[in-house]
């Protein structure tokens, strides 16, 4: 990456809740979820003077109601940051938080700011994807995009059509594996450290505390999912077991120039190597991570064999399988999502990008033999995004300061 090296200092997320009337956050505001994670990062890092935060970038796909009003700025004010700290909102649908991180990282790299908070929030229980949206009729009338492009599940079915090797049986197996891996990670204590407890108030049940993810379905088996319906197409292949559930939640990450992190005594959990976004046909948006990854690898001067850890957002199992096939990676490769993914934990759209980063950072710390990892995801309306990271704990890692000497 040109300019100053940028590091991922820390990240956090709320427990994820099911987006439904009786879900975990049914009576909690979206902006309050974002405030909770920002406050937690500030609490964890008192060595960061709040006035050194140069920007707060918060993403949301549906920027209405309690997810509107320039989220970055409103969250900064609500979190108690100095009024001199600016902020803004971002929308790149599922890659919102990922875009927030890469945007502020670019500003840090060129020296415009020294540190930033970036993340995303989605309260899909209050603001379902596409609610109150008014897509231009020209999209379909002039055949600019296929009508399926506006229905994410339909785009997943299209991937099955386009790549016959991506069978329902493979997708079912991947979906079950995601649940199993998440359950193992939870039992091993690898999930809870990332979570920020959130106070809840229910008009009927009173006060409570959200401390655990709500969407996972432990004990899921291949036999149990074999007969599930295919809601996006009669006789199709995409089911609830191979799709990420509708989810409420928020994430935030603290990003800084490597030299500033060292000056302030902030940890460097990952260093940003390169990133890229790419467009694809909207009706098969799930292949978006493939060209984005090719471009990010090219910018980094790496090939896929150098990547020792993959965190791939599981919008749909078939989308992950398409990525794996494109790069010759086995469905059960241990480098891929070993702690499960969005099929199990949920996918609060614009928040998910930082969840991937937090999980990758944890893997870097646990295994210093991994030098490079990537976070990648598909994006609605035909896009993909990929960020490549380097592990500061690797024996060959050289800081910018050491490199200068």
Catalytic residues: 94, 347, 378
Give the separation between CA 356 and CA 323, rounded to whole angstroms. 16
Total residues belonging to the chain = 405
Contact 52, 115 (CB under 8 A): yes
Task: Return d(Cα 66, Cα 177) in angstroms, integer.
Answer: 35
User: What are the tokens at 18?
Assistant: 């099911």
Is there a contact between 15 and 214 (Cβ–Cβ < 8 Å)?
yes
Which whole-number Å values give the CA distances from 19 to 200, 216, 287, in the listed order?
Answer: 15, 13, 26
In contact, 285 and 28? CB cutoff 8 Å: no
- Residue 144, token pair as written in the block: 């600019």
The percent of the chain in helix, strand and coil, each rounded to the nearest 5, is 40, 20, 40
Say which residue the tokens 């599922």 belong to: 94
Indicate the DSSP class of residue 14. Answer: P
Contacts of 15 (CB under 8 A, 6+ apart): 24, 195, 196, 197, 198, 210, 211, 212, 213, 214, 249
> CB 207: neighbour CB atoms within 10 A?
8
- Contact between 283 and 155 under an 8 Å Cβ cutoff? The reply is yes
Beta bridge pairs of residue 251: 13, 120
């Amino acid at each position: 990456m040109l300019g100053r090296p940028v590091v991922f200092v820390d990240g956090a997320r709320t427990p994820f809740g099911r987006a439904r009337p009786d879900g975990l956050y049914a009576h909690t505001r979206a902006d309050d979820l974002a405030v909770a994670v920002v406050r937690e990062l500030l609490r964890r890092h008192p060595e960061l003077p709040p006035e050194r935060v140069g920007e707060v970038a918060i993403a949301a796909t549906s920027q209405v109601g309690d997810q509107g009003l320039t989220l970055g700025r409103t969250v900064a004010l609500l979190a108690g940051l100095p009024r001199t700290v600016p902020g803004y909102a971002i929308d790149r649908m599922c890659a919102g938080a990922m875009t927030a991180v890469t945007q502020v990282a670019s500003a840090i790299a060129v020296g415009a700011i020294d540190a930033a908070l970036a993340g995303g929030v989605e309260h899909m229980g209050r603001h379902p994807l596409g609610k109150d949206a008014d897509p231009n009729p020209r999209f379909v009338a002039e055949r600019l995009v296929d009508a399926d492009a506006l229905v994410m599940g339909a785009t997943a079915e299209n991937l099955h059509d386009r790549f016959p090797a991506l069978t329902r049986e493979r997708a079912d197996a991947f979906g079950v594996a995601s649940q199993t891996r998440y359950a193992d990670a939870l039992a091993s204590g690898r999930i809870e450290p990332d979570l920020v407890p959130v106070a809840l108030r229910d008009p009927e049940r009173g006060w409570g505390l959200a401390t655990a993810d709500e969407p996972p379905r432990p004990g899921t088996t291949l036999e149990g999912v074999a007969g599930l319906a295919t809601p996006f197409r009669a006789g199709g292949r995409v089911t609830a077991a191979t799709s990420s559930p509708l989810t409420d939640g928020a994430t935030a990450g603290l990003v800084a120039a490597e030299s500033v992190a060292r000056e302030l005594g902030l940890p460097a959990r990952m260093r940003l190597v390169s990133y890229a976004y790419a467009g694809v046909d909207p009706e098969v948006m799930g292949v978006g991570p493939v060209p984005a990854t090719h471009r990010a690898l090219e910018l980094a001067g790496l090939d896929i064999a150098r990547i020792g850890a993959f965190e791939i957002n599981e919008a749909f199992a078939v989308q992950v399988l398409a990525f794996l096939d494109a790069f010759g990676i086995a469905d059960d490769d241990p480098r891929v999502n070993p702690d499960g993914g969005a099929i199990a934990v949920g996918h609060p759209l614009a928040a998910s990008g930082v969840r991937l980063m937090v999980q990758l950072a944890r893997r870097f710390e646990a295994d210093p033999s991994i030098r490079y990892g990537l976070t990648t995801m598909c994006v609605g309306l035909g896009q993909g995004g990929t960020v490549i990271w380097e592990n500061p704990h690797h024996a060959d890692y050289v800081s910018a300061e050491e490199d200068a000497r």
